[in-house]
Amino acid sequence: MDSAKGLKWISKRKQQWLAYQLTAKLCYAIAATFAVAAVLFCFMQTPLWIYPVICSVLFSAMVHFSGIAKVQHHQIADMLDIRFPQLEHSASLFLKSSESLGMLQKLQIHRLYQSAFDLPVGHFINYRILYKPVGILLLTATAYFIVLYNVTPHLGNGQVSSLQQTANTPKPSMDLPAAIAAAQVRITPPVYTGLPKSKQTDLSIAAPLGSTIGLNLTTTARIREMALLLDGKTTIRLHPHDKDSLRWDIEFKPQKNGFYQLSLDGELSALYPLELIPDLPVTIRVSNPDQHTVIDFGFPETVALNASMQDDYAIREAQIMATISSGKGEGVSFKSHEIPLRTAVKNKKDATIAQTIDLKKLGMGPGDELYFYMKANDNAGQESRSDVFVVVLQDTAELFSMSGMVSGVDLAPEYFRSQRQIIIDTEKLLAEMDSLSTPEVHNRSNNLGIDQQLLRLRYGQFLGEEAEDAIGGHVGHDHGEQGPQSLAHLPKEEVVSHNKVRDWKNHDPGHEGHENHANEFKGEGPTEVPINMESLIAEMSHQHDRAEDATFFDAEQKAHLKATLTEMWNTELRLRTYKPREALPYAYKALRMLKELQQKSRVYVGKAPTKTTPLNPEKRLAGDLEEITGAEQHYTTLENPDELNVQQRLKRTLAYLSNLKTTRKLDEMGRQLLIEAERSVMEAASREPAQYLSALKAIRLLEEDGGENTQAEIQLIEKAIHELLPTLTQQPQKKNHVSKQPIYQLYFKQLTVN
Amino acid sequence: MTLPQAFFIVLAFILLIYVLLNEKRSKSQVPFLIRCLAGLLAIGALSGLFFPLKYPQSWHTSDKSDELVVFTKGTPDSTIRIATKNGNTATTDSAIARQHLIPLIQNWEAFLRQHPRVPIALYGFGLTRPQLDALTDRPLHYHAPQPPQGFVFCAWPLQLQALSPLVAQGQYNNPSDQEVKVVLLSANQPVDSTIIPARAAHAFTLSCLPKQLGNTLFNVLAIAGQDTLQHEKLPVFINPPQTLNVVMLAASPSFEYKFLGNWFQQLRYGIASRARISVDKFSFTYSEGSPLSLAPPLDASTFKQADLLIADEAELAMCTQTEQQAIAAAVRSGMGLLLFVGDEKKHSLLGQEFRVATTSNEHEQTIAIKSITKQDYPQLPIVLLNGIQVKPSQQPLLYHDTQIVAASQLYGKGFVTAMTINNSYSWWLRDQQEAYTRLWSFLLDNTTAGRQQALHYVQTPHFPTTHNWMELLLQHPEPLLSIDGQPHPVLQHEYLPELSKLSFWPQHGGWHSITAQQADSAWFYVYDQTDWQPARDFATLGATKAFATREHEKLTNKPEIEVNPENEIPKWIFFLLFLIAATVLWYASRQYNQNVM
């Protein structure tokens, strides 16, 4: 035997081994895919094509990492040697060429030749190797189907279904009438929706509004006439497709929700719902700016507009409609602009708008107001608008005006003028900055900062914050003998004014005449913060400084005042850090907020010119009432007088049904009530078939069964009537009753004798 | 001894002599002695039939001093097992008899006669009223069990006006470790619910505004987790809504009257309104088809059909004396009067009963009103608030803090209500119509009186069941009423002629109608045997407990009296003896026995 045959033999064994191993790996990969699919199905709906991809990836990984593909012949030979002792560990000899073999090796090959081909190859590799992988595959497949059919219906899918998914979501199919062998419903949505035509065999129809519905029915036997009864009122005849009258069709375009029945030679079928999905206009949500925005002096005159739009099918166009008002009083003028959107929205379902509106480019100046809203049209031509947003460019001149403050009704405290004074001084500093030295500028800026601080502290008093004379200071307080014991050991320091602190800090030791008062500045300067730690701790535990104890303002005003204090602090910070130009916008903002706070409780109404009827001096003060006649009016008749009667009947039906559950017998009175209730439920079902159609069917079933075994139907009808009846409000009742017996009459009469 | 008894004795003696002489003269194979004895026996039996012969009780049965244990429904199994070991047990419940093989008491009175004066130890929920009555003067030891689980009590109005809230109050006993949710269902829709904590007997209140009309069955459920523990019916008869005829007299056109008129219009009440424009100038507003005229002078015919008059005190004060008298007469006859009072100097005839004090509320811009039924109303803006200083005959209706802002007084058959608030329309403007309707419904409920005579009844027991006795106490003087079309006689109450009693054994469950000749019909509901079982058991338990307590007090307070009880010998024994004796005498008198030498 030559080694070629032996090599061939080993190659064949290798192929067999590889085939089984790859099959096993494939089984493992498929099992893993099932497991992954079961887990994924619990959380999301994934497309089917992803599973082969997962399987192939897993299979490739398994093959790669297990090294099956790299198996060599000699490894097979080694495996054969291990498996078959008859090969006497000489299988590798088959892999060598005849020329390279020695005599002994040739003899060995010759000896093995006979036995090698007689070896039972099945002992080396057979189907038993697949038991485990196939078993695991079956287990995971079973688990997958269990999850698919039993667990996932109870878990929600996280995805929001689109309109198409809603339309294609399988609904419980309605039974066909016995006389109908087959039915086909063709739904042709309006062209603008972009939806494809659909076909279904279920007679429950849910289609976009404006769709054309085609109905194709095949009957089991010849029928003379077939009609469609819409909402129990409108009849539309179906046309026989051919002469044998077995196929019928019709096309119609419903205008509203409702239900329909098929009439086959006068016999009515069950009720089928007809639901029209309306095309809603574009939904516009503006997240920025706020409803009312004020741009203060010094801040950029732009408005960042962030909005999002959604539509059922597609947006056709969208714009920003802006109106600018300038001037005041009778001199106000309005200019309208249409600002196009930079983002393309046409034919999109979702669009996100991020755009900056430059107020200067729109020609706005201080005091002007911009009113804008977003307008969008969808493919159906429906227009929708967002809310109107107002942007005001603050007019600084108006801030300084005293209008509304000198009416004398409510005296404005002098604090308000201080903020204006700080602004005036800051602007003056800015104007003179170029002509002043840097230390002088810093000094003046610092002084302004201190003034701002003082003003802030004064306002802070209203919120129960630090006292006027010191920041968190305990100085100047006189508790007398009733003071807390923990503070008794503290000396009463003299009142330290901020001016003194400022003078101390700003004092220049190098100025002329310093020697005269140098002693005053030798020691430690006055501080606003007590040095003694105990006093510091005692201050923290002091009961006076509580914002909650302040009762001058309500919560909203306090919040506004706190915001004002924040702006004052921003102003102070920049003034003290020698940045007066940056401080100015904050100062203006603080002033605006102070003005708003003052005027918060006031409502200003512009004085409109009035024209009164000229007085007749002859009749005036005459007291002649002859021409004044008493008017006689009548209360207007309420609309829908029958509505009350219908409601009364529905109420009686509701009461009757509550008893029918126990009596289980429908009598004549009950039938009458049900007939009347059916009319009301039918009207409701034509408006909202999804909600009331089941109740309508239940009424008919109840009438057929006569009240027996109809608990579920009675509950459906009760629920529907309960929803139809309006929410009631309490009404006065005559409760007290007095008997006509003479003794009682006499008793009540005697009560009023005296 | 009475005359008939003496006459009988004489007759019997004469008869005895005659029989003895007759037998002595006749010849018979039957020995003379036997014939004499038979004659004597016959006359003795006749005497026994005529005279009630008695024997001491101690001869009849051995007077056992041991207690007799009687188990009724609700006895715990463990108690039965322990007590049956002692013997002398019986039960009134067939289920216990079957389960524990204990003798069932078929006839309670007969059972008691078999065990005279034997103390009874009673277990379970107890006995019915007739059974308890038979236990009078007998030592009774009652061992009450734990209250049954479930609705142990529930009460609700059996008749309701439309658009009135249905309020059901009761108590639920929950001995389990799980919370129980009690739900009120109207038309199978949950309308109210409450939670009963674990291991507690908790009161509950459920309410709703019914949408039904007529005989209606509401339901109340007790749910623990996913299990429905109990499902009971609440039958209510809901009367159709009433309409009122309202007359309004305003001293000046005001929003309060405007909004009131609009509201009455929505409720479809008959309205006639007059507002004074000037001294003798008015503006009138009437509802469609109203035949009324409010042009002065007003007289009795104006208010004949009116159920309610709403007026300003100032306007009434400006009416003439005759007009005010007519209004007072109408109120005495049952018309309600609601007055808007203030600090007027001149008072009307009816308004002078209410003293108004002006109070300043400088710091208050709004007030919060509360009713006497603890209903809160939203804040109401007010400028100046007047309070009413009530007299003992007046009932406060509305409060602000401690000030009374509305009060009511009975005047004849009608009510006069005075109110110092005249801007409740502010709630309507603030979209708080619910508070507005609540307030005015409350005020008018307390002001208007019913004119129509309706059939009122009180039923006993609280949960009547089929084939069991029930009684209706009716407020109607008619001697004959019909139930479901069948006439039933009524018994007049012993002390109150207005009330009548009607006993009834309903044959079937469900609604039953009561109709009188000149009144509306009323309805009552009869439950099935399984309905409201815990509540009925709890009522039985309570009644038995009360009876046992009363009997125990009676027995402990009773003086020791020696009594020798006796039993009467049954008459049938004497009859049998008479027959035997007569047979012997007849046999002796037969021809083949005669002529014996």
pLDDT in tens, A557-569: 778 888 889 999 9
Give pLDDT, residue B172.
Answer: 95
What are A283-293's pLDDT values in tens digits? Answer: 999 998 998 89
User: Residues A360, A313: one domain?
Assistant: yes
Of B165, B211, B244, which is closest to A732 when you measure between CB atoms?
Answer: B244
Specify whether the backbone of A54 is left (phi greater than 0), alpha (psi in -120 to 50) or beta: alpha
pLDDT tens string, chain B, 597 residues long: the values are: 788 888 888 998 899 899 888 888 887 888 888 889 999 999 999 988 888 887 765 544 444 446 788 999 988 888 888 777 766 888 999 999 998 888 899 899 888 888 877 888 889 999 988 888 888 878 888 888 889 999 999 999 998 888 888 999 999 999 999 999 999 999 989 999 999 999 989 999 999 999 999 999 999 999 998 999 999 999 999 988 878 899 999 999 999 999 999 999 888 889 999 999 888 888 999 988 777 888 888 888 989 889 999 999 999 999 999 999 999 999 988 899 999 998 888 899 999 989 888 776 666 678 889 999 888 899 888 777 788 999 998 999 999 888 899 999 988 888 999 999 988 999 999 889 889 999 999 999 889 876 555 677 888 888 999 998 899 888 766 667 888 888 888 888 888 877 888 888 999 999 999 887 766 678 899 999 899 999 999 999 999 999 988 888 877 765 544 455 567 788 888 999 999 999 998 888 886 666 554
Inspect the interface and report whether the beta carbons of A737 and B456 lie closer than 8 Å.
Answer: yes
Nearest residue on chain A to B508, alpha-carbon basis: A663
Contacts of residue A640, Cβ cutoff 8 Å, sequence gap at least 6? none
How do the domains of chain B map onto residue ranges? 3-53+569-593, 68-145+538-557, 150-241, 245-445, 457-526
CATH: 3.40.50.1000, 3.40.50.720, 3.40.50.880, 3.30.565.10. Which one for B245-445? 3.40.50.880
Inspect the interface and report whether the beta carbons of A658 and B266 lie closer than 8 Å.
Answer: no
Q: What does the block give as tokens for B207? A: 């309410």
Q: What does the block give as tokens for A641? A: 């007088």
- At B335, the amino acid letter reads M
- DSSP assignment of B379-440 equals EEE-SSEEEEE--TTEEEEEEETTEEEEEEEEETTEEEEEE----THHHHHTT-HHHHHHHH
Question: Which residues are bridge partners to B221 per DSSP?
Answer: B183, B231
Residue A453 lies in a domain: no
Q: How many other β-carbons are positioned within 10 Å of the β-carbon of residue B474?
A: 24
Give pLDDT, residue B150.
Answer: 94
Of B187, B261, B448, which is closest to A654 when you measure between CB atoms?
Answer: B187
Query: What is the predicted ipTM?
Result: 0.74
Question: Which residues are bridge partners to B186 per DSSP?
Answer: B189
Question: Is A173's pLDDT higher than 50?
Answer: yes
Q: Residue A662: its chain B contacts at CB < 8 A?
A: 217, 233, 509-510
**Nearest-CA distance from B415 to chain A in Å?**
10
Q: Residue B267: its chain A contacts at CB < 8 A?
A: 731-732
The total number of structural domains that make up chain A? 4
**Which of A29-33, A36-40, A49-53, A748-752 has the highest average model confidence (pLDDT)?**
A29-33
Inspect the interface and report whether the beta carbons of A632 and B265 lie closer than 8 Å.
Answer: no
Of A634, A654, A655, which is closest to B288 when you measure between CB atoms?
Answer: A634
The fold for domain B150-241 equals: Immunoglobulin-like (2.60.40)
| C-alpha closest to that of A161 among A37, A315, A277, A306 | A277
User: Residues A270, A313: one domain?
Assistant: no
Q: Residue B216: its chain A contacts at CB < 8 A?
A: 654-655, 658-659
Q: Residue A658: its chain B contacts at CB < 8 A?
A: 187, 212, 216-218
Q: Residue A716: its chain B contacts at CB < 8 A?
A: none
Q: Over B189-219, what HEC string results?
A: EEEEEEEECCCEEEEEEEEECCCCCEEEEEE
Nearest residue on chain A to B331, alpha-carbon basis: A752
Output the CA torsion A743→A745→A748→A751 (10° steps).
Answer: -70
CATH class of the structural domain B68-145+538-557: alpha beta
Answer yes or no: same fold for B68-145+538-557 and B245-445. Answer: yes
Using CA of residue A19, residue A20, residue A26, residue A30, what is the dihedral sign?
positive
User: Residues A146, A15: one domain?
Assistant: yes
What are A14-32's pLDDT values in tens digits? Answer: 888 899 999 999 999 999 9
Q: Residue A715: its chain B contacts at CB < 8 A?
A: 188
Inspect the interface and report whether the beta carbons of A734 and B437 lie closer than 8 Å.
Answer: no
The whole-number average pLDDT for the span A593-597 is: 85
By three-state DSSP, how is residue B516 classified? coil
User: Residues A126, A72: one domain?
Assistant: yes
Q: Which of residues 633-692 of A touch B (CB under 8 A)?
A: 633-638, 644, 648, 651-652, 654-659, 661-663
Inspect the interface and report whether the beta carbons of B217 and A632 lie closer than 8 Å.
Answer: no
Inspect the interface and report whether the beta carbons of B415 and A736 lie closer than 8 Å.
Answer: yes
Test mutation, B213, B239, B353, chain A, max A CBs within 10 A: B213
Residue A304 lies in a domain: yes
Q: How many CB pairs under 8 A join A and B?
A: 175
Give pLDDT, residue A135.
Answer: 93
Residue A35 lies in a domain: yes
Inspect the interface and report whether the beta carbons of A751 and B410 lie closer than 8 Å.
Answer: yes
The mean-pLDDT minimum among A313-317, A411-415, A511-515, B265-269 falls in A411-415
- State whether residue A414 sits within 8 Å of chain B by CB: no
User: Residues A135, A266: one domain?
Assistant: no
Contacts of residue A584, Cβ cutoff 8 Å, sequence gap at least 6? A297, A298, A423, A426, A427, A430
Inspect the interface and report whether the beta carbons of B215 and A725 lie closer than 8 Å.
Answer: no
Residue A731 lies in a domain: no
Cβ(A584)–Cβ(A430) below 8 Å: yes
Q: Residue A732: its chain B contacts at CB < 8 A?
A: 244, 267, 440-441, 443-445, 448
CATH number, domain at A182?
2.60.40.10
- The CA distance from B359 to B420, in Å, is 11
Domain B457-526 has CATH 2.60.40: yes
Test mutation, A733, A741, A743, A748, chain B, max B CBs within 10 A: A733
Inspect the interface and report whether the beta carbons of B411 and A656 lie closer than 8 Å.
Answer: no
What are A214-239's pLDDT values in tens digits? Answer: 988 888 888 888 888 888 888 888 88
Question: Is A69's pLDDT higher than 50?
Answer: yes
Inspect the interface and report whether the beta carbons of A731 and B162 lie closer than 8 Å.
Answer: yes
Q: What does the block give as tokens for B317? A: 């004060």
Cβ(B497)–Cβ(B461) below 8 Å: no
Give pLDDT, residue A87.
Answer: 83
User: Residues A17, A148: one domain?
Assistant: yes
Residue A482 lies in a domain: no
Output the CA torsion B457→B460→B463→B466 (10° steps).
Answer: -100
**Nearest-CA distance from B286 to chain A in Å?**
5
Give pLDDT, residue A491.
Answer: 45
Inspect the interface and report whether the beta carbons of B284 and A659 lie closer than 8 Å.
Answer: no
| C-alpha closest to that of B589 among B15, B18, B23 | B23
User: Residues A11, A148: one domain?
Assistant: yes
Q: Residue B448: its chain A contacts at CB < 8 A?
A: 732, 734-736
- At which of A219, A253, A277 does a domain end? A277
Residue A342 lies in a domain: yes
Band (A163; pLDDT cuts 50, 70, 90): very low
User: Residues A184, A325: one domain?
Assistant: no
The structure tokens 């004044």 sit at A628
Give pLDDT, residue B197.
Answer: 93
Test mutation, A730, A739, A740, A747, chain B, max B CBs within 10 A: A730
User: Residues A243, A353: one domain?
Assistant: no
Band (A545; pLDDT cuts 50, 70, 90): low
Q: Note every long-range contact of A439-446, with CB atoms under 8 Å and residues 24 or more positions apart, other chains counting.
A: A441/A578, A441/A580, A442/A578, A443/A506, A445/A575, A445/A576, A445/A578, A445/A579, A445/A580, A446/A506, A446/A575, A446/A576, A446/A578
Inspect the interface and report whether the beta carbons of B511 and A659 lie closer than 8 Å.
Answer: yes
Inspect the interface and report whether the beta carbons of B411 and A752 lie closer than 8 Å.
Answer: yes
Test mutation, B188, B281, B523, B532, chain A, max A CBs within 10 A: B188
Give pLDDT, residue B325.
Answer: 93
Of B211, B266, B279, which is closest to A728 when you measure between CB atoms?
Answer: B211
Inspect the interface and report whether the beta carbons of B277 and A719 lie closer than 8 Å.
Answer: no
User: Residues A249, A198: one domain?
Assistant: yes
Of chain A, the percentage scoring pLDDT greater than 70 comes to 78
- DSSP assignment of A596-646 equals HHHHTT----PPPP---PPP-TTTTT----TT----EEEPPPPS-HHHHHH
User: Residues A383, A314: one domain?
Assistant: yes
**Nearest-CA distance from B219 to chain A in Å?**
9
Q: How many CA atoms lie within 13 A of A687 on its CB side?
A: 6
The structure tokens 């119509």 sit at B433
User: Residues A311, A215: one domain?
Assistant: no
Cis? peptide before A47, omega within 30° of 0: no
- Between A495 and B105, the more confident residue is B105
Q: Residue B189: its chain A contacts at CB < 8 A?
A: 718-719, 722
Cβ(A308)–Cβ(A355) below 8 Å: no
What are A469-485's pLDDT values in tens digits? Answer: 444 333 444 444 444 44
Inspect the interface and report whether the beta carbons of B477 and A741 lie closer than 8 Å.
Answer: yes
Contacts of residue B569, Cβ cutoff 8 Å, sequence gap at least 6? B48, B53, B54, B55
Band (A525; pLDDT cuts 50, 70, 90): low
Inspect the interface and report whether the beta carbons of B412 and A733 lie closer than 8 Å.
Answer: no
Nearest residue on chain B to A739, alpha-carbon basis: B453
Nearest residue on chain B to A641, alpha-carbon basis: B268
Contacts of residue A641, Cβ cutoff 8 Å, sequence gap at least 6? none
Contacts of residue B4, Cβ cutoff 8 Å, sequence gap at least 6? none
**Nearest-CA distance from B226 to chain A in Å?**
18
The mean-pLDDT minimum among A82-91, A526-535, A648-657 falls in A526-535
Question: Is A199's pLDDT higher than 50?
Answer: yes
**Nearest-CA distance from B273 to chain A in Å?**
10
Inspect the interface and report whether the beta carbons of B244 and A715 lie closer than 8 Å.
Answer: no
**Nearest-CA distance from B177 to chain A in Å?**
30
Inspect the interface and report whether the beta carbons of A725 and B437 lie closer than 8 Å.
Answer: no
Range of the domain at A47: 3-152
